[in-house]
Chains A and B, each alone.
Chain A
Amino acid sequence: AQTVTQSQPEMSVQEAETVTLSCTYDTSESDYYLFWYKQPPSRQMILVIRQEAYKQQNATENRFSVNFQKAAKSFSLKISDSQLGDAAMYFCAYRALNQFYFGTGTSLTVIP
């Protein structure tokens, strides 16, 4: 069974600082995708970054980057230069065989 684990229910970061959100997953598939989604109070899930499992290079999207460790099945999200607008729930997600599996989320607070 595919599972996604986010062990940090809540995190906080000072504005302009860097924070890392953790995610581990379990799978027997060799071909899959990993994602980080942001969910603000508006409830819409917004894609932050994606990583193809076959790519060794870590994905980067402006201030957002991932540390993908395939052997360890770890997929952490680093947010640099945190901004007030980054405050939200962050969900790690795994996709294979056309199905998404989401973690339980990490609530990120940005302190001014």
Chain B
Amino acid sequence: EAGVAQSPRYKIIEKRQSVAFWCNPISGHATLYWYQQILGQGPKLLIQFQNNGVVDDSQLPKDRFSAERLKGVDSTLKIQPAKLEDSAVYLCASSLGPGEHGYTFGSGTRLTVV
């Protein structure tokens, strides 16, 4: 079974630039999550989708972060404009439904903002 795919694996950008990350969840997984993991910390949930609808985006900095899952399958997370403090690993995860049935993480995208 293919896992959660994320790209790119690494990204370096200058502050004030924009960047986008892509996630393709496990086939059939209705729920998709984006996490931010700052160095030395545990992952923090940014946004949760159920199919193509947003379930929880309470910790998403909406002034600069946006995410979409238009067809209820793959998803993109965008940052515009980026700040130095956005440097982190961005993890995507998916599950069969809300909860942890089959909850699986991708390998993440490491973003460095200089």
Residues of A within 8 A of B (CB): 4, 33, 35, 42-47, 50, 91, 93, 95, 98-105
Contacts and interface: CB of A to CB of B under 8 A. Distances in A.
Contacts of B110: 43
B56 A44 contact: no
Interface residues of B, number: 23
B42 A44 contact: no
Nearest to B91: A45
A4 B55 CA distance: 23
B100 interface: yes
Interface of B: 3, 33, 40-45, 48, 55-56, 89, 91, 93, 98-100, 103, 105-108, 110
Contact of B42 (A42, A47, A93, A95): A93
Q: Is the interface of A mostly helix, strand, loop or mixed?
A: strand
A99 B107 contact: no
A46 B108 CA distance: 13
Nearest to B3: A44
16 contacts: A4-B42, A42-B107, A43-B89, A43-B110, A45-B43, A45-B93, A50-B100, A91-B43, A95-B100, A98-B99, A100-B33, A100-B43, A102-B41, A102-B42, A102-B43, A105-B42
